[in-house]
Amino acid sequence: MNQKTKLAAAIFVAALGYFVDIYDLLLFSIVRVASLQDLGLTGKELTDTGILLLDIQMVGMLIGGIAWGILGDKKGRLSVLFGSILMYSLANVANGFAHSVTEYAIYRFIAGLGLAGELGAGITLVAELMPKEKRGYATTLVASVGISGAVVAYFVSDLFHWRTSFFIGGGLGLLLLLLRVGVAESGMFYQAKRAESRGDFMGLFRSKANLLKYLRCILIGMPLWYVVGILVTLSPEFGKLLGVKGDINAGVAVAWCYGGMALGDIASGLLSQALKSRVKVVYLFLFLAVASISVYFFVPGISLTWFYPLCGLLGFSVGYWVIFMTISTEQFGTNIRSTVTTTAPNFARGALVPSTILFHLLTQWTGSMIYGGALVGGLLLGLAFWAVGGMKDTFHKDLDYIEDMN
C-alpha cells in the first residue's frame, strides 16, 4: 500500500471518528430533557440532574484527555484512535439502555473518557503523515467533517426516539472500526521511541517556556466553548432579555452555531494555506468573534429570522478550531505531541466550568445576565489575543524532532 493510500485512510478514519465524537457530545445536550423526562424526572430535579450528568461527562473528558494523550505518546497514535472510538461507541449503545440516573451517569462518564481521545490522536497522526506544506488541508478536512456531526445529531434526534439516536451513534462508531483497514502508524512516532521522556505530561510544567506554550494553546481555544456553552446554550434566556421577537429553540440555535463552525473550520483551514500562516488566521477570526458577539449583546430586538443566522455567524467566528488543533500539534516535539494535542482541547472544553461560574458571579454582581455574559466574553477574548500574540507561526515547521522537557 503506497503512502497516499495510507494517508487517505488515516484522514478518513480520523474525520469520521470525530464526526461520531461530536455527534455523541451534542446528542446528549439535545436529548437531555426528553431522556430524563422518560426516566421520571421533572422540574428542578430534571435541571439539576442534567447539569450533574454534564459535569460527570466533563470530568471523564478531563481524565481521559490526560490518559489518552500520554498513551498516544507511549503506545502510538493508532492505539488511542481506535481505543477511544471503541470506548465511546460502546458507551453510546449502553446509554440507549439506561433506565436509571445512576446508569446514565456511569455511561456518560465512560463516554467522556472515550470522547477525550479521538480528535487529538487523529489530528496528531494526520499531521505527522502529511507533508508540512499541505497538512493544513488534511486537518481542515478532519475538523470540518467532524463538526457536521452536531448538525446530524440534531436531525437524527428530531426523527428518532432518544434511545434510538444513541444506538445510531454507537453503531456508526463500531462500523467505522470495521473500516479501519489500511491505516498506518506515524513514522515519526516510531523514530521517537528512542526518547526517554515520551508522554511526560508533568514535564510540561517543569519548563517555563513549555508551560507558557501549553497555556497559550489552551487559551486560544476557550472562546469557542464560551460561545457554545453560554451564548448559544442559554440563548432562550438571553433572547428574552435582549427582546428577540419570538421563542428561541435552543436545539435550532445549536444546529445553526455548529453549521457555522463547520464552515468556519473550512474557511480558516483554507485561509491558513493561502496566507501560509496560522497566527494571522486566528487574529482574523478573533476580530470577527468580537464583532459578532457585540452584535449579539448590543443590537437588541431582532427577529428569529435574523437571530438564528446570528448564531451561525457566532459559530463561524470561533470556527478556527482546526487551526487551534493544528497549532497545538505543531508547537511541540514528537515525544509529547499527542499529549498536548489531546489534552489542550479537553482543557479548553473544561474551562467552560470556571467560565460558567464566573458568568454567574458577574451576573449577580452586575444584576444582569447581559453584562455578566459580555464581561466574561471580553475576558476570554482578551486572553486569547494575548495567547496568540506570543505564538510563533508554525506553518512551515518540520515536526520530526524531540522536545526538550527539562
Predicted confidence at residue 267, as pLDDT, reads 92
Predicted confidence at residue 299, as pLDDT, reads 87
C-alpha span between 76 and 69 (Å, rounded): 10
Predicted confidence at residue 373, as pLDDT, reads 93
**Nearest by Cα to 122 from 89, 160, 80, 63:** 80
- Mean pLDDT score across all residues of the chain: 86
Predicted confidence at residue 191, as pLDDT, reads 60
Predicted confidence at residue 190, as pLDDT, reads 55
Task: Give, as one character, the DSSP assignment of residue 79.
Answer: H
CB 18 within 8 Å of CB 142: yes
**Nearest by Cα to 17 from 137, 109, 147, 133:** 147
Read off the pTM: 0.85
Radius of gyration of the chain (CA): 20
**Burial profile 322-336: b = 16 or more Cβ within 10 angstroms, e = fewer:** bbbbbbbbbbbbbbb
**Nearest by Cα to 78 from 17, 3, 1, 168:** 17
- Residues 6 or more apart whose Cβ sits within 8 Å of residue 265: 140, 143, 144, 147, 319, 320, 321, 322
Domains, in order of start, for the chain: 1-179 (1.20.1250.20), 198-406 (1.20.1250.20)
- pLDDT less than 70: residues of the chain: 1-3, 180-196
What are 75-132's pLDDT values in tens digits?
Answer: 877 888 888 989 999 999 999 999 999 999 999 999 999 988 888 888 888 888 777 7
Predicted confidence at residue 374, as pLDDT, reads 95
Predicted confidence at residue 221, as pLDDT, reads 93
- Residues 6 or more apart whose Cβ sits within 8 Å of residue 209: none
What angle is formed at CA 85 by the lines to CA 79 and CA 88, rounded to 5 degrees? 130
Task: Give, as one character, the DSSP assignment of residue 35.
Answer: H
